Amino acid sequence: MSRMRAAVLRTPGDIVLEERRIPVPGPGDVLVRVTAVGICGSDVHYYRQGRIGPFVVEDPLILGHESAGVIAATGDGVDFSRLGERVSVEPQRIDWSSPEARAGRYNLDPRVQFFATPPVDGAFAEYVTIPSMFAHRLPDEISAEAGALLEPLSVAVAATRKARLGIGDRVLVTGAGPIGLILTQVARALGASEVVVTDVSEDRLRLAETFGATRAVVADTDLSEMRADVLLEASGAPPAIHAGLRALGPAGRAVLIGMGADDVMIPLTTVQNRELEVTGVFRYANTWPTAIELVRSGRVDLDRLVTGRFSLEQTAEALTAAADPRTLKAIVHPS
């Protein structure tokens, strides 16, 4: 068999099922038969608008960057023993000659080829190729769906590392979407003594409590007296960023994760007088082993985030469902 099916975005709002050649794994690569793909907000944005900031869909594009599957073939230099291995895909190719990659910050490689970021195809297909080092073996305890969702969990791991989150910290998570709910679990797993979650949705707040929040409050609640040690901002909403920074105590650490407006006003006097650290996080580097152990050990539950399952033929329907606020994670099963 040399052909596969793929769900291809032709123009905004137009997904078609196409037949394409199965990619051939190059040296150091593996071919993965894709069994589960999670839908991210960026997929929905490309589907609806055809662009995110400077990244514009100018040619047909396969979306999807949260994926898991089974190794179906190996390229030169990859041990044949990996055939049949269940894996989670870290969806990027790195230029290892870049200064960023050599420094260990390969997520900041300016020439990274990242799945489903134009013009790089993603995983809404029956097969993908990936460098073998980025095909991470899944323990038997982890489902294919959870394996796909190790990608957003890796964002959370990267963010909590940037925040230097540790035992006894008081944490504020703004935004109770999928990333916020994952951040809540990771914060508790790392020993946070308090995890307060804010959102505009009361349904999401009730859900946050079941995922480990010690307190869940509506987004306009005054938290200026909280004096949190860490802010994990997962909404991208300017009011949440502003309120979250004001909720930090002296020497507090803020990590901005949610994607929102390009420019945001911040309470500069608060940042200066309290010597707050404010930083962003861009994807991840060296996070998969930690993410896998968090799920394998039961400290993070990803399966409970799945609220809808779809076939490859239903990819457009899945993207539409993912835009519904009642949806946490929609999963496409290509094979």
Structural tokens at position 9: 């975005």
| Residues comprising the chain, all counted | 335
- Looking up residue 227, the CATH number of its domain turns out to be 3.40.50.720
High-pLDDT (> 70) share of the chain, %? 100
In this structure, the answer to whether residues 90 and 186 fall within a common structural domain is no
Q: Is the per-residue pLDDT at 192 higher than 90?
A: yes
In this structure, the answer to whether residues 166 and 224 fall within a common structural domain is yes
Q: How confident is the model at residue 84 (pLDDT cuts 50, 70, 90)?
A: very high
Q: Is the per-residue pLDDT at 27 higher than 90?
A: yes
**Which one-letter DSSP state was computed for residue 52?**
E
pLDDT for the residue 62: 98
In this structure, the answer to whether residues 175 and 260 fall within a common structural domain is yes
Q: In the chain, how many domains are there? A: 2
> Residues 55-81: what's their mean pLDDT?
97
pLDDT for the residue 138: 98
DSSP run (H or E) holding 213: none
- Residues 228-282 have pLDDT tens digits of 999 999 999 999 999 999 999 999 999 999 988 889 999 999 999 999 999 999 9
Amino acid code (one letter) for 92: Q
CB atoms within 10 A of CB 95: 13
In this structure, the answer to whether residues 132 and 168 fall within a common structural domain is no
Structural tokens at position 253: 């650490």
CB 103 within 8 A of CB 62: no
The domain in which residue 235 lies consists of 156-280
CB 186 within 8 A of CB 162: no
Distance (Å, rounded) from C-alpha 98 to C-alpha 84? 33
In this structure, the answer to whether residues 138 and 160 fall within a common structural domain is no
- Looking up residue 19, the CATH number of its domain turns out to be 3.90.180.10
CB 179 within 8 A of CB 152: yes
Structural tokens at position 67: 């994926």
Distance (Å, rounded) from C-alpha 334 to C-alpha 292? 23
In this structure, the answer to whether residues 20 and 144 fall within a common structural domain is yes
> Residues 59-75: what's their mean pLDDT?
98
CB atoms within 10 A of CB 111: 11
In this structure, the answer to whether residues 241 and 326 fall within a common structural domain is no
Q: Where are the alpha helices (DSSP H) in 70-177?
A: 99-102, 144-148, 150-162
